[in-house]
Amino acid sequence: MPLCRLVSEEGRHKPIPLPHQQTLTLGRGPETKIKDQKCSRNQVELKADCNRGFISVKQLGSNPTNVDSAVVGKGNQVPLKPGQKLYMVNQLYPYFVEFTEDISLISSEERNKPMKRQHQKDSQEQESPASKLSTSCCTQQTSNGALVLGKATAHKAEPAGHWSQGLKVSMQDPKMQVYSDEKVVVIKDKYPKAQYHWLVLPWVSISSLKALRSEHCELLKHMQKVGDRMIQQCPDAQKLHFRLGYHAIPSMSHIHLHVISQDFDSPALKNKKHWNSFTTDYFIDSQDVIAMLEQDGRVSVKEGTAELLKQPLRCHICCKEQATIPKLKEHLKSHLSSCLKGETV
């Protein structure tokens, strides 16, 4: 049977064995060498399934534990698979899971199987992107830059998993796609927070802003260019103001550019977190992300950014504070009314 270990990416301590189907509780303490008071002594509960090749992660602590960029949530349980990262608390203290064969219990032929599987995987990854494409009907770009309905290419869908992986499923669904080219796909947000709310996603797998490097600059510029074209062809483009940007700490895995109108007229906008995620510095403009990559080769998220979601409700136009979401929405109607009279919002 394969053996499982939890490995600190920072090398803070020796790998922690995770016996098959046995629960282990970890957090702040001598075993992890974590002294951060925001990390509970019982932050996570881990349980390895060595036969199926993953571990279950259950968040016990109050502060967020992440798998890649997705927050697990207190009391929730999600799988951690090889290649993914577990952040013990507040996107800090990264770990990865490692499965190794018990050499003493397998033959030399069996030892070679993982190498063969890896070779087959490497060969598949070296296939041209075109070999992984299937045809679907959605919007395409013509030679003059217009977006028109026609045949487009879509990558084969991955199996559905945890809710945080939902974007990877939606971007493969022809019914969700409104535009596609060889680099990106555009889908409508399932729960739009405004009259117009699109997501621009790259076909290449990039988990979050933290995974971006300088070589991704051209891709992000293309994503912004596609977002700009979506706005240009919007029937209310002359009346509504739009922003293009990224959530600093997104709840959904796979990087995505929000293209969102600033009317915020939507029944899906229900709470303070929704509002502040788009109207505070939690929402980072696309151009600022590109500038950081060009200058530093990486994107930096300021410490304490998560706390921005707890700020009071303030109108993004006049900054007037509102007590509740219903009162805020009623207040926004006055701005929207001005917009319909010809004033830009």
The pLDDT tens digits for 35-76 are: 999 999 999 999 999 888 889 999 999 999 999 989 999 999
What does the pLDDT read at residue 339? 57
Distance CA 87, CA 138 (A): 37
Asked if residue 41 is part of any domain, the answer here is yes
Distance CA 317, CA 301 (A): 25
Quick check: 283 pLDDT over 60? yes
Q: What percentage of the chain has pLDDT greater than the value 70?
A: 78
**Residue 81 sits in the same domain as residue 147:** no
pTM, two decimal places:
0.55
**C-alpha separations of 45 from 5, 98, 344 in Å:** 14, 17, 51
Q: How many CA atoms lie within 13 A of 316 on its CB side?
A: 20
Supply the Cα-derived Rg of the chain in whole angstroms.
23
Read off φ and ψ for residue 89, nearest 5 degrees. Answer: -160, 140
Distance CA 201, CA 71 (A): 20
**Confidence band (pLDDT; 50, 70, 90) for 323?**
very high
Domain of residue 232: give its range. 129-308
Quick check: 135 pLDDT over 90? no
Verify whether residue 13 is a known catalytic residue.
no
Among 256, 258, 316, 335, the active-site one is 256
Asked if residue 345 is part of any domain, the answer here is no
Asked if residue 201 is part of any domain, the answer here is yes
**Residue 13 sits in the same domain as residue 150:** no
Distance CA 63, CA 130 (A): 43
Q: Which of 140, 131, 201 is nearest to 166 (CA)?
A: 201
Pairing of strands 177-180, 197-202: unpaired
Quick check: 94 pLDDT over 80? yes
The tokens for 136 are 């679907």
Answer for the pair 305, 249: CB distance below 8 angstroms, yes or no: yes
Read off φ and ψ for residue 275, nearest 5 degrees. Answer: -65, -50
**Residue 168 sits in the same domain as residue 212:** yes
**Residue 41 sits in the same domain as residue 136:** no
**Residue 146 sits in the same domain as residue 240:** yes
